[in-house]
Amino acid sequence: MIDLHCHTNCSDGTLTPLQLLQLAQESGVQKLAITDHDTVAAYSQLEDIIQGSAVELIPGVEFSSQWDKHSVHIVGLNIDLQHPTLHTAVAHQFVVRGQRAMRIGFKLAQLGFGDAYAGALQLAGDAVICRPHFARYLVQQGVVTSHASAFEKYLGAGKLADIQNIWPELTTVIGWILDCGGVPVLAHPSRYKMTRSKRMNLIRDFTEAGGLALEVCCANQAHGVAEHMADICEQYNLHASVGSDFHSPNYHWVKLGKYPPLPKRCLPVWQLWQ
């Protein structure tokens, strides 16, 4: 079993890196990439134990980028964790995330939730601050009843506290990953709210910029999506990645290592570093 997209509490997950690794072992995951948002801090917490683990850990990260006014996520797999470009990229994203959080907090304050920024910052702790920290704050304060409703009403794309056009360009992020010796993967392509023609333009630009793989299989994927993505991989000569996008055991609808089967005609992304 392979899972190349998941998160810890170093970004917006709820498990520590060690807890996630233990869950991977219990779940039968043999290859695991921790792909926290704009940080690789999880790997420093696992340095002393990874050699004795039954799980092969693939160094990874999930960078936020901008394409045609859309926020797009690019996973970097098998990256060099010591590469100077990675350190520069992570530092840049940390600053941008901080700016974004302040702007989200300002918008929420205008809506009457004056302590939202401070509350989200406290919930984030040492992790990079993400929208789910604001969602958790809004749930705790009784403003909304669930994480999903926080995004539907305030934090999602185009909603009242949405912040746009703040991330680095898609081409920049792909360049970072390639510089680090990694494989750029377009994360969950079917989830972006865009027309089919615009999605195809995104994949074309991703490929032309040096992108090497699509995330063909992800948890809670609609029927037929994997086959459609496999068609696109063949069209653009791209490899295929798989991942649950796991964040928390409390989200019962997403299980680590669980996603639709990869179509047999796909070229698995891990062939690029084996």
162 located within any domain:
no
In the block, which residue shows the tokens 């995004």?
151
Shared-domain flag, residues 106 and 175: no
Give the domain-ending residue among 155, 177, 201.
155
Assigned token pair, 185 = 């993967």
Give the domain-ending residue among 155, 176, 204.
155
pLDDT at 50: 67
Give the domain-ending residue among 111, 130, 155.
155
Per-residue 3-state assignment (H helix, E strand, C coil) for the chain: CEECCECCCCCCCCCCHHHHHHHHHHHCCCEECCCCECCCHHHHCCCCCHHHCCCEECCEEEEEEEECCEEEEEEEECCCCCCHHHHHHHHHHHHHHHHHHHHHHHHHHHCCCCCHHHHHHHHHCCCCCCHHHHHHHHHHCCCCCCHHHHHHHHHCCCCCCCCCCCCCEHHHHHHHHHHCCCEEEECCHHHCCCCHHHHHHHHHHHHHCCCCEEEEEECCCCCCHHHHHHHHHHHHCCEEEEECCECCCCCCCCCCCCCCCCCCCCCEHHHHCC
Shared-domain flag, residues 237 and 144: no
> Domain range holding 256?
2-89+168-272
Shared-domain flag, residues 136 and 176: no
Shared-domain flag, residues 267 and 198: yes
Shared-domain flag, residues 135 and 172: no
**From first to last of its 274 residues, what are the pLDDT tens digits of the chain?**
999 999 999 998 999 999 999 999 999 999 999 999 999 999 998 877 766 678 899 999 999 999 998 899 999 999 999 999 999 999 999 999 999 999 999 999 999 988 999 999 988 888 888 888 998 999 888 888 988 899 899 988 888 988 888 999 999 999 999 999 999 999 999 888 889 999 999 999 999 999 999 999 999 888 889 999 999 999 999 999 999 999 989 888 889 999 999 999 999 999 999 7
Shared-domain flag, residues 10 and 85: yes
102 located within any domain:
yes
CATH of the domain at 22: 3.20.20.140
The number of folded domains in the chain is 2
161 located within any domain:
no
